Amino acid sequence: MSKVFGYGEDALTLWLLKNHPYEILKQFKDKTEPCDCLVLYRPSFGRSGGSDSAEFGEFLIASV
């Protein structure tokens, strides 16, 4: 698997979803096992809005 480097809230959210799913479920008092969860994560790559700028938009990652 390739290494992914990131910063900011999107990278932290992805890290938390991948590495600490039990803590997230615990906050919601959910007893579901992480392996039984479907994670839909849509990071934002920003939108600068200028006519001469690149806009990446957003994409969807689904994990089972």
At 27 the pLDDT is: 93
Q: What is the mean pLDDT of the chain?
A: 77
- Identify the pLDDT of residue 20: 94
Question: Average pLDDT, stretch 24-32?
Answer: 93
Helix (H) or strand (E) holding 53: none
Give the pTM: 0.59
pLDDT digits (tens, 9 = 90+) for 54-64: 555 555 555 55
Structure confidence at residue 51 (pLDDT): 57
Task: State how far the alpha carbon of 30 is from the alpha carbons of 18, 21, 23, 42, 63, in Å.
Answer: 17, 11, 10, 22, 18
Top-confidence residue, 18 or 8: 18
